[in-house]
Amino acid sequence: MKKLGAILALFLLASVLPVFAPAQNSPATADQDYTLIPGLAKDLIDTKADPCVDFFQYACGNFSKLHPIPPDRSSFASYMITQEHTNHVLRTMLEKAAAGGAARTPNEQKIGDYYAACMDVDAINRKGLKPLQPELDRIAALKDKRELTPLLAHYQLTNDGAFFGAGEEQDFKDATKQIAVVGQAGLGLPERDYYFRTGDVAEKTRKDYVRHIMNMLKLLGEPEAQAADEARQIMQLETALAKVSLDATSQRDPQNVYHMISVADLQNLAPALNWNRLLTEADFPPVSQLNVAMPEFFKGMNAVIETTELRTIQAYLRWQLLHWTDPLALPKALDDESFDFNRRQLLGALEQRPRWKRCVQATDSALGEALGQVYVAQEFPASSKQATVEMVHNIEAAMEQDIATLDWMSPETKSRALEKLHAVADKIGYPDHWRDYSKLTITRGDEYGNSARAAIFENLREVHKIGQPVDRGEWGNTPPTVDAYYNTSMNDIIFPAGILQPPSYDTKATDAVNYGHIGATVGHELTHGFDDEGRQFDGKGNLSDWWTREDAKRFEQKADCEVKEYSSFVAVDDLKVNGKLTLGENTADNGGLRLAYMAFIADAKRKGIDLTQKDDDYTPVQQFFLGYGQEWCGTQRPEALRTQVQTNPHSPMQFRVNGVVQNMPEFGQAFGCRADQPMMAANACRVW
Ligand SMILES: [Zn+2]
């Protein structure tokens, strides 16, 4: 679902943590290719560190020296080396497809020409602001607030997030249905709390943001005084929207973002717009009801529209148009200004990513399953799929055993939990059916048009699902993606080909190492079905309470232990991890490593592996934990860390490692830790 925020707990593999400053003497460049690091990388280990005091430092202590943060990145990590490598592979494919020739398949024509148009900066700069002119004319032509309805309907298709977003989702309460949904949007800062947080850093960010809006409006041709004035008014308008927006933590509770009402009731809630007309013009099929995810927001947004002067709304719409347009399609000065605020100031990146990398990513996001077909044929061996499927089955069997032996859960709830576990669909590598892009026109030399048509194509595809049966085979990310996710409504886990590469999955590494890496990630995704959010959905993907009251209470007590544990971790300066925002991910990290451990031990027993025998300096159990630790090696610039802690449901890397191993006594045993050492928590938390 576009623009509506992180309602699903996606395993974003987002940013990491700055523990070490990048070494000065080994500068990385933004263009360099990387060799994939192996599953067990001994050169990353800091042998001077004590694994029982700080396991993250032990497993990953040399990472920043060997792999300094490239200047175009705000953080760097093991999995980002895989991303960088994959970028180079995709670039070669796209350059070949772009070189043309009559023998190109229709998909090769599309990805090749999309990439070529994106790389054609001369054409983009020559056109300047001309491609935006029809959109600017529409805003200028507004004579009355009633005319906002058709304009905002149009924005639902073009991905302009001014005011709100509308789209499609599976009905939380009946996962066989695909319904219409509207949710909050309209902000240019990353999250609503950015508008209200106190302190020097927060105040500076707001000041820089107002200057950024002003700079963008100036680049649109507005005189300085007018741009400055409008930027202040736009900030006021956005602050009013932020005031009625739901914060990131509250959005994690499905009950907070599910309010089925009739279109007539939405009309009463927010009469400034004509909702029937808006949905019709955005090409939604007729609906009687829809999910108004955040009713308070729509009430508040209505007041903002009614009390703000039309010319201020027009200035806001011009700004939002610039904010939501892909900067790759904008002339250089606007692209540079967008980088300066969004990536340099908010995340600490030193320089813009090379254009080719951005164009690879843009092609993947516009035509992911066309590019994915070419990628999978070249890069993904059938043996990797088979091995992963086998591991997933072993980890599902471990979860079955885990649920059966839990001492805090009643037999009734256990049988429902097993029912849910058995219903999980495993999707590995790439989809069985590929998306059809034949109706999407991609033209060389037309970056803005390609990007706009791709957005409309995708939004229409989404909207036209409303009222149709659910396609259970659909994928929410593309095959080259170095990431994985669990989807509560589908009750499925997805592991694209991109993540099934070293170090996460290394055919040359031992089973122990692979169970620690990708095995823990499989366990992580599976556990999402049973974290504080996922547990509220049943095996069919429906929001329904299948827990006995007693069991639900015990679950909450156990989860609360993790809230307290992670809330005590200091991320940067005075900023602590938000234990509530990160609860689902922390539960998944902890459950994931335990399930992988159980599956690994069972597998080793079947294969007759001696768990005390050192191989390559480490016992198999130590290798398992090192594999896990090294999945999360990385460093992060302080700006990026701050943004992550304030907006992202994942804990910083250091805590994803140390926070988890200190909850597992098996770790302390494997490394011979003493009871009073930091990685041996006296009151270890355990949910699953
Ligand atoms: Zn996750």
The tokens describing 160, both together, are 């302009």
CA 440 to chain centre: 26
Active-site residue (options: 525, 565, 631, 639): 525
pLDDT digits (tens, 9 = 90+) for 597-649: 999 999 999 999 999 999 889 999 999 999 999 999 999 999 999 999 999 99
The tokens describing 196, both together, are 């209200």
147 Cα: distance to centroid of ligand 1 (angstroms)? 42
Q: Which H or E run contains 174?
A: strand 174-184
pLDDT digits (tens, 9 = 90+) for 58-108: 999 999 999 999 999 999 999 999 999 999 999 999 999 999 888 999 999
Taking the C-alpha atoms of residue 542 and residue 173, their distance in angstroms, rounded to an integer, is: 5
Taking the C-alpha atoms of residue 581 and residue 28, their distance in angstroms, rounded to an integer, is: 33
Query: 3-class SS at 19?
Result: coil
DSSP letter at 450 equals H
586 Cα: distance to centroid of ligand 1 (angstroms)? 8
Which phi and psi angles does 332 have, rounded to 5°? -55, -45
584 Cα: distance to centroid of ligand 1 (angstroms)? 7
pLDDT digits (tens, 9 = 90+) for 487-504: 999 999 999 999 999 999
589 Cα: distance to centroid of ligand 1 (angstroms)? 7
Active-site residue (options: 84, 589, 603, 631): 589
Average pLDDT over residues 516-520: 98
What percent of the chain shows pLDDT beyond 90?
A: 93
CB burial of 383-395 (b: ≥16 within 10 Å; e: otherwise) equals ebbebbeebbebb
Query: CA angle, 569 as apex, 488 and 343 as ends, to 5°?
Result: 70
**169 carries an active-site annotation:** no
Q: What is the pLDDT of residue 20?
A: 35
Query: 3-class SS at 77?
Result: strand
Q: What is the pLDDT of residue 574?
A: 84
Q: Is the pTM here over 0.95, yes or no?
A: no
Average pLDDT over residues 1-30: 40
Taking the C-alpha atoms of residue 656 and residue 566, their distance in angstroms, rounded to an integer, is: 10
- The pLDDT-based confidence of 27 (bands split at 50, 70, 90) is low
- The pLDDT-based confidence of 32 (bands split at 50, 70, 90) is confident
- Beta strand 492-496 with 425-429 is parallel
Average pLDDT over residues 514-532: 97
Which bin fits 672, alpha (ψ -120 to 50), beta or left (φ > 0)? left
Q: What is the mean pLDDT of the chain?
A: 94
**525 carries an active-site annotation:** yes
pLDDT digits (tens, 9 = 90+) for 384-395: 999 999 999 999
- The pLDDT-based confidence of 33 (bands split at 50, 70, 90) is confident
Q: What is the pLDDT of residue 26?
A: 54
Q: How big is the chain by its Cα radius of gyration, in Å?
A: 25
Question: Hunting for tokens 């490692």 — which residue is that?
Answer: 657
249 Cα: distance to centroid of ligand 1 (angstroms)? 15
Long-range pairs of 607-612 with CB within 8 A, sequence gap ≥ 24: 607/511, 609/511
Average pLDDT over residues 445-473: 97
Does pLDDT of 17 surpass 60?
no
Q: How many CA atoms lie within 13 A of 268 on its CB side?
A: 4
CA 418 to chain centre: 28
Taking the C-alpha atoms of residue 610 and residue 512, their distance in angstroms, rounded to an integer, is: 12
The tokens describing 514, both together, are 């692979």
DSSP letter at 341 equals I
Q: What is the pLDDT of residue 451?
A: 98
- The pLDDT-based confidence of 29 (bands split at 50, 70, 90) is confident
DSSP letter at 53 equals T
The tokens describing 71, both together, are 């200047």
pLDDT top residue among 33 and 372: 372
Q: What is the pLDDT of residue 167?
A: 98
10 Cα: distance to centroid of ligand 1 (angstroms)? 5
Taking the C-alpha atoms of residue 80 and residue 321, their distance in angstroms, rounded to an integer, is: 31
Alpha helix segments (H runs only) across 325-423: 332-339, 355-379, 382-405, 411-423
